[in-house]
Amino acid sequence: MPSKLVILDRDGVINSDSAQFIKSPDEWKPIPGSLNAIARLNQSGYRVVVATNQSGVGRDLFDMDTLNRIHQKMHKAVAEVGGRIDAIFYCPHTADSACDCRKPKPGMFKRISETLNIDLKGVPTVGDSLRDLQAGAAVGCQPLLVRTGKGTKTEADGNLPEGTQVFADLSAAVDHILKKATK
């Protein structure tokens, strides 16, 4: 039985994405229904962890203080609807860096596993881009694609990891996770 954990990408899953990056708390805007979806997971006993590439830090588009303020806004917004995000893992590196944490590499997911002392086999991971799903699938997570953010294009491009399930948005993905948990 997989642990009661769900791993979410941030931009395009929880909040609206931008080709110019989310560079300030003002630019962070939740996708309708996403915050309540996180609260529903919490109320059903799930821990929620965010795994997000944030290369804007490595590109000097914003600094760590700004990233922390964006995440404080997200924590506060989730708390206002009765939910919580248990941890945020991020990769600040650019695409051309040799790190092992930038999705699609599985380093961030391995760190989640080690930090929480949890086997990620079967743990749902929700993303809107192929690299989100690949990173999770590499460590045995159940990949769930949402059509928000880049998700519609990701679905159309194909080559999704085996067993990927597709949902309209985070709320629909959470409906599926919770329904599956009661079976």
At 134-169, the pLDDT tens digits run 999 999 999 999 999 999 999 999 999 999 999 999
Per-residue pLDDT tens for 55-71? 999 999 999 999 999 99
Q: Is 65 a catalytic residue?
A: no
Could you state, in order of their start, the residue ranges of all structural domains in the chain? 5-181
Q: How many helices (H) and strands (E) does the chain have?
A: 7, 6
**CA–CA separation, 45 and 159 (whole Å):** 33
Residue of 9, 128, 132, 169 marked catalytic:
9
Query: Per-residue pLDDT tens for 92-101?
Result: 999 899 999 9
Indicate if the pLDDT at residue 3 is higher than 70. no
**What pTM did the predictor assign?**
0.97
CATH of 5-181, one of 3.40.50.1000, 3.20.20.60, 2.30.30.40, 3.40.605.10: 3.40.50.1000
Say whether pLDDT at 102 is over 60: yes
Quick: pLDDT tens for 5-36. 999 999 999 999 998 999 999 999 999 999 99
3-state SS, 131-144, equals HHHHHHHHCCCEEE
Catalytic-labelled residue, pool 11, 17, 132, 169:
11
Contacts 24+ apart (CB under 8 A), 60-64: 61/21, 61/23, 62/21, 62/23, 62/24, 64/92
First vs last C-alpha separation in the chain: 12
Is residue 169 part of the annotated active site? The answer reads: no
Q: What is the pLDDT of residue 1?
A: 47
